[in-house]
Amino acid sequence: MAQEVDRLLQVIFAGRRKSGRLDLEAVEMATRAAVHRAGAVLLAEVLEPDGPVEREIPCPCGGTAVYRELRPKRILTVLGPLEIWRPYYLCPRCHIGQTPQDEELDVAATECSPGVRRMMALVGSQSSFAQGRQQLELLAGLTVTTKAVERHAETIGADIAVRQQADMHRVLQWPWPEAGGEPIPTLYVEIDGTGVPVVAAETQARSGKQPDEPAHTREAKLGCVFTQTQLDQKGRPLRDEASTTYTGAIETAEEFGRRIFTEAYQRGWNRARKPVVLGDGAPWIWNLADEHFPGAIQIVDLYHARDHLWKLSAQLFPSQPATRQRWTRGLQRKLDQGQSKQLVAQLRSFHPPNAELAALLRTEADYFERNAQRMRYPQFKRQKLFVGSGVVEAGCKTIIGSRLKQSGMFWTVRGANAILALRCNRLSGKFEDYWESRRHAA
């Protein structure tokens, strides 16, 4: 420690003699580096084996591993690089060696401490891996490679995903575990999806949006669960603060159904007095709702339904803006008033000028007819329910889009799912619990 103080003072006085003034930023950074170096020395001493080394330990093969020697391992810690010495054991039966202290310290098969890996997971989930490397160097004084940030962020995200799969397996067993706790007045599940750009190998044999175009993305499905117990001053529903949790992945609708049910169940779905599922008009969403959330109130996002009308009118009246406005607003009033039957009748009575528009009208009429029960907006509003799925739509932008859809990014499904699991975990406020569970398991 004294040597680090002397070195620091030399740096400070040398800089002052050279420039004639004190560069506070340089002093700050030099002080941090000195403290880190001194701390690394102390940490290395703390990690030295204390007391006599066990001569024998059990081997997983059923034999007995015998102590051979102390072996060094260089690791990067939050205080900088250091070398630790650990007892090494070799089993004469299977000839496999082991260093139990690596497991104890959670540094097995890695050269980074848990604290550094946690930092890399954080910065790797927030921005590009290259930016994460720069952030670690500036904010923590740690020099790592971009690939290291990528590898450790994805490894931790993959571990979170594995634990989620274990939760799903447990929850989906019959009979379900008891869901204790107080009743929840209103619990929402919102579901949506958005495309994630992927490498070419992940889209083989998949068609794009146009029949003659190859696919460039894979759909990431996202679900969120939140509660609502209060109203604002105008009597409109308010989402409970810090009540939103997220889950998502690039996977089939069937797999995602099990995922979102697990999240909802863990949040108390069975205790909800008023369970609600909100989404756009995608059939896969409502198939999942029927299968996993029977009896729930189903609501099609009002603003998404309105958008259907505006896009339709743009095709029907491309050069007649006044007519388009008048026609659309009339249908929108019917929609807002829950008059889906009249809206569908008006669409089916329209005489389009060509077969292409006739097919479009049939598709839209079928959409509103199919979702009529999910468009009883006056009734939903009287029940003080949300009629828009803005929470999950915002989640698609913040959780998926802002990280996985940046310029020039192309993902493997494995990598994208790892980062998505990590981001959902963090933005659901579960990261501390996850890290605590790792600590107990170590």
Could you read off the pLDDT of 69-113 as tens digits, one per residue?
999 999 999 999 999 999 999 999 999 999 999 999 999 999 999
Q: What tokens does 66 get?
A: 């015998």
Decide if pLDDT at 214 tops 90.
no
Instruction: Kindly list the distances between the CA atom of residue 378 and the CA atoms of 240, 299, 334, 435, in Å, as whole numbers in the listed order.
Output: 23, 12, 11, 45
Closest by CA position to 374, among listed 310, 273, 305? 305
Distance of CA 1 to the CA centre of its chain: 42
- For residue range 217-266, list pLDDT tens digits in order: 999 999 999 999 999 999 999 999 999 999 999 999 999 999 999 999 99
pLDDT confidence bin for 8, thresholds 50/70/90: low
- Looking at residue 320, what is its pLDDT? 95
Closest by CA position to 76, among listed 125, 115, 108? 115
Closest by CA position to 15, among listed 39, 38, 31? 31
- Mean pLDDT check: name the lowest of 132-141, 341-350, 431-440: 431-440
Q: Using N-to-C axis directions, what is the helix angle for 146-171 and 114-126, rounded to 10°?
A: 90
- For residue range 43-63, list pLDDT tens digits in order: 999 998 877 899 999 999 999
Q: What tokens does 73 get?
A: 């391992």
Instruction: Kindly list the distances between the CA atom of residue 191 and the CA atoms of 216, 221, 360, 393, in Å, as whole numbers in the listed order.
Output: 22, 7, 25, 8
Q: What tokens does 223 get?
A: 């679900």
- For residue range 140-163, list pLDDT tens digits in order: 999 999 999 999 999 999 999 999
Q: In this structure, which amino acid lies at residue 248? A: G
- Looking at residue 26, what is its pLDDT? 81
Tell me, yes or no, if the pTM score tops 0.85: yes
Q: How far apart are CA 201 and CA 390, in angstroms?
A: 33
Decide if pLDDT at 21 tops 80.
no
Long-range contacts of 49-57 (CB under 8 A, 24+ apart): 49/85, 49/86, 49/87, 49/101, 53/87, 54/87, 56/89, 57/89, 57/98, 57/100
Ordered by start, the domain boundaries in the chain are 2-46, 49-111, 171-301+388-441, 304-375
Q: How far apart are CA 400 and CA 251, in angstroms?
A: 14
- For residue range 310-338, list pLDDT tens digits in order: 999 999 999 999 999 999 999 999 999 99
